[in-house]
Amino acid sequence: MLLAVAGMVGVGKSTLTRALAARFGLQLALESVDDDNPWLERFYGEGEESRRAWGLQLQLHFLATRFAAMRQMRAQGGSWILDRTWYEDAEIFARGLHEQRLLDDASYDLYTRLYRELLYSPAARPPRLLIYLHAPLETILERIARRGREKERDTEVGYWRALHERYQRWAATFRHCPMLSIDVRDYDLLADPQAVEEVAARVRERIEPQLPQTELFPPVTRRSRSRA
């Protein structure tokens, strides 16, 4: 079984991915965003010019690490959970750079040719469930300001606004696999441990027959978010 967690920076993808991996006994495939990614800080470095200079390298890095993760998952077998998907890489980030003219036609054509090869790979099976974390832009900006990396906090609001709009369009037309949509205003995954249990209960409802036998905890009834 393969699960995936999708969403913008600041919504709590990595937190939820790690929590569900531990909760359900899944193997973990995290996004390459730390010391093993030499392009991310350069990409966010000096605004639009940095994104134009380093966008292709960053997207090819993510594509290469997806290939490596998929090969590992296929070789090891078992049940896995992904922190972000190759669908987002291509259909939101690379496409967005091209739409903003930060990635020229030839570079984008090269990227999309490689992406299509990835989709035809035997290891590129769609996830059993995509867990899509989302929130209004204001909520995401507030979380980036409090919890984001330094370069993310320094990035102009216009970049996040455009990315947020692309995510909304993408989620509305996503058809690769079933999607569970989670409004993160309902769940503070960092501050409230109970929130993870509630999200896990919703995931369990969708995939119960395929959960590994190491998942031993009782279900949790989801609470409703009150609105003022």
Q: Domain segments of the chain: what residues?
A: 2-210
pLDDT for 215 beyond 50: no
* Catalytic status, residue 83: yes
Would you list the DSSP string of the chain?
A: -EEEEE--TTS-HHHHHHHHHHHHT-EEE----STT-SSHHHHTTTTHHHHHHHHHHHHHHHHHHHHHHHHHHHHH-S-EEEES-HHHIIIIIIHHHHHTTSS-HHHHHHHHHHHHHHHTSTT-PPPSEEEEEE--HHHHHHHHHHHS-HHHHHS-HHHHHHHHHHHHHHHHH--SS-EEEEETTS--TTT-HHHHHHHHHHHHHHHGGGS-TT--PPP-PPPPPP--
31-40, 57-66, 163-172: which has the highest mean pLDDT?
163-172
Tell me: domain 2-210, CATH 3.40.50.300, correct? yes
Residue 223: pLDDT above 50? Answer: no
Which of 83, 89, 104, 105 is labelled catalytic? 83
pTM of structure: 0.83
pLDDT at 130: 97
